[in-house]
Amino acid sequence: MPNATAVINLDIEGPRINRHLYGHFAEHLGRCIYGGFWVGEDSPIPNEGGIRLDVVEALRALDIPNLRWPGGCFADEYHWRDGIGPREQRPSMVNTHWGDVEENNHFGTHEFMALCELLGAEPYISGNVGSGTVREMSEWVEYLTRDGDSPMVRLRRANGREEPWRVKFWGIGNETWGCGGNMRAEYSADLARQYATYCRDHGDNKLYRIASGASDADYKWTETLMQQISCFGCEATPKNFFQGLSVHYYTLAGPWEAKGSATVFDTDDYYRTVAAARRLDRILTGHSTVMDVYDPGRTVGLVLDEWGTWWDVEPGTNPGFLFQQNTLRDALVASTHFDIFHRHAARLHMANIAQTVNVLQAMLLTDGDSLVLTPTYHVFEMNKAHQDATSLAVHLRGDALRRTVGDTELEILSASASVKDGAVLISLSNLDAEEAAEVTLDLRGRSVGEPSARILTAGRLQDHNAPGTPETVAPRPFDGLKPTDQGLTLTLPPHSFVTVSAPLA
């Protein structure tokens, strides 16, 4: 059996893993909001003020740190004033990006903020640059966050909310290179500066403004934005216009025109998916390297506010709704991504999976009153103690690390570790479709107490959960840990994700 050693120095601490790397994304797209988060107050599905309580309960168990809304592409045609006030009087619109369906605006600002409160998550609002105005965005910030007396404060109070909310994360447009306005980087950078200027900090509510950034490996876009981040020479102490810069990266097994099925795929498709997921590491390194030139002190955050797998929609569903199943393959993409995020913790401030319910790589799939936890959900749950933990470097060596697939050499083992509250958490993925791997955890610098472990795997990579079979892919206790002189040894089954935790002695 191939083997590997993971050397972890428990006493050499790396950067903090920002809890916002475990962030989420809810767009007015398909059944994410309507039917997913929102069923309305008159629904027989248990709800609080229209918000589905089974969804809230499932997500609370993940400690989700933030929720991005209302898009995505939808954000750049969303006009927030249409989504406030009595619901029956709100104007409707056509959601041209997603299915060309009518949007009744019943889920708007107050509903979103109530959802965040129920989830215990911070709001991340994505403002409209593509078809909105500077004034519109500026007034939305005022409406949400200003105290005292002002036109927007009076409007908010007339709609039933006395106190301002706290909103930190604010997106200045989305994919301005594409659905958000088809702009050039230079123009987008100028707009980011302009819009950011009028997104004011009201009282002690300090915004973290996120400029619309690159897709994939478009480092030139990042460079253009970083060159314009602050107004050098305008002021004695230049202040950054934006505090974060986004990037989007989706994992596909092939070209956009032939993404393939979520559940019907072969081993070649699987390894192409693994290679695509691994590519994110190089892409984050590329963007970070460019950012280091303009911001060597690393004050500006890289924000991967859309990531995840993107497959063909499930047969028979609306192509504009992006509804896809979620298998063990998706879970392994998620576990590999988190290892990459942890390694980039010094620059990566936030990441948001696309999307939380019923769209793309979802945590939860609903159908009427049924709710299923996906394999990806379980990775978020098994990894949640990494949130706000101190990262530990994992040095891997051995013959189980790589596998030659066709003419590509693939890294087949993935791992990361962190320490928090006196305990270490080690995440390990064996991405090999067929072979198990023996891994020795060589733990140095401190000793550990009684370890415990959990495993997420299934008979087949295509396995997934459904209403009648909700636990086909679910975490189970893993009792294969063997203490050795060096630390611990365990055998990772093929296509498995294992977490090991232990108190520091």
Amino acid sitting at position 500: V
Instruction: Single out the segment in contact with ligand AHR by CB under 6 A; choices: 52-60, 67-75, 137-145, 237-245.
Output: 67-75
380 to 385, 415, 458, 496: CA distances (angstroms): 10, 15, 17, 15
Q: Least distance from C-beta 101 to ligand AHR, angstroms? A: 15
Residue of 162, 306, 409, 411 marked catalytic: 306
Contact positions with ligand AHR (CB under 6 A) in 294-323: 306
Q: Least distance from C-beta 71 to ligand AHR, angstroms? A: 5
Closer to ligand AHR by Cβ: residue 177 or 380:
177
Query: Is 175 a residue of the active site?
Result: yes
Closer to ligand AHR by Cβ: residue 27 or 281:
27
Q: Least distance from C-beta 44 to ligand AHR, angstroms? A: 30
Closer to ligand AHR by Cβ: residue 322 or 400:
322
Q: Is the preceding omega at residue 72 within 30 degrees of 0, hence cis?
A: yes
Closer to ligand AHR by Cβ: residue 306 or 442:
306
List 351, 354, 363, 419, residue binding ligand AHR (CB under 6 A) = 354
Closest CB to ligand AHR: residue number: 72
Cα 9 from Cα 2, distance rounded (Å): 23
Closer to ligand AHR by Cβ: residue 230 or 355:
355
Pairing of the two strands 101-103 and 93-95: antiparallel
Contact positions with ligand AHR (CB under 6 A) in 72-111: 72-73
Instruction: Single out the segment in contact with ligand AHR by CB under 6 A; choices: 70-78, 234-242, 275-283, 384-392.
Output: 70-78
Instruction: Single out the segment in contact with ligand AHR by CB under 6 A; choices: 66-74, 151-159, 324-332, 379-387.
Output: 66-74
DSSP string, 205-247: B--EEEEEEEETT-HHHHHHHHHTSB-BTTBSS--BS-SEEEE
Pairing of the two strands 390-392 and 394-398: unpaired
Instruction: Single out the segment in contact with ligand AHR by CB under 6 A; choices: 113-121, 354-362, 411-419, 457-465.
Output: 354-362
CA-wise closest residue to 350 among 505, 124, 152: 124
221 to 184, 241, 286: CA distances (angstroms): 9, 17, 12
Contact positions with ligand AHR (CB under 6 A) in 383-412: none
Tokens 């569903």 appear where?
317
Count of residues that interact with ligand AHR, criterion CB under 6 A: 10
For position 174 contacting ligand AHR by CB under 6 A, the verdict is yes
313 to 280, 324, 463: CA distances (angstroms): 23, 5, 17
Q: Least distance from C-beta 184 to ligand AHR, angstroms? A: 18
CA-wise closest residue to 264 among 327, 308, 321, 202: 327
Q: Least distance from C-beta 217 to ligand AHR, angstroms? A: 16
483 Cβ contact partners less than 8 Å away, ≥ 6 residues apart:
none
CA-wise closest residue to 207 among 215, 191, 221, 195: 195
List 14, 30, 36, 71, residue binding ligand AHR (CB under 6 A) = 71
Contact positions with ligand AHR (CB under 6 A) in 19-48: 27
CA-wise closest residue to 354 among 27, 70, 45: 27
Closer to ligand AHR by Cβ: residue 103 or 175:
175
Q: Least distance from C-beta 471 to ligand AHR, angstroms? A: 28
Residue of 175, 186, 409, 435 marked catalytic: 175
Query: If 0-12 CB within 10 Å is exposed, 13-18 middle and 19+ buried, where does residue 1 land?
Result: exposed
Query: Is 306 a residue of the active site?
Result: yes
Closer to ligand AHR by Cβ: residue 355 or 391:
355
Instruction: Write b or e for each residue in 170-196: b if 16 or more Cβ atoms lie within 10 A of its Cβ, otherwise e.
Output: bbbbbbbbebbbebebeebbebbbebb
Instruction: Single out the segment in contact with ligand AHR by CB under 6 A; choices: 68-76, 113-121, 376-384, 493-501.
Output: 68-76
Stated length of the chain: 505
Cα 34 from Cα 459, distance rounded (Å): 34
Pairing of the two strands 370-373 and 496-503: unpaired
Q: Least distance from C-beta 126 to ligand AHR, angstroms? A: 9
Closer to ligand AHR by Cβ: residue 14 or 71:
71
Binding site for ligand AHR (CB under 6 A): 27, 71-73, 174-175, 306, 354-355, 360
Active site residues: 175, 306
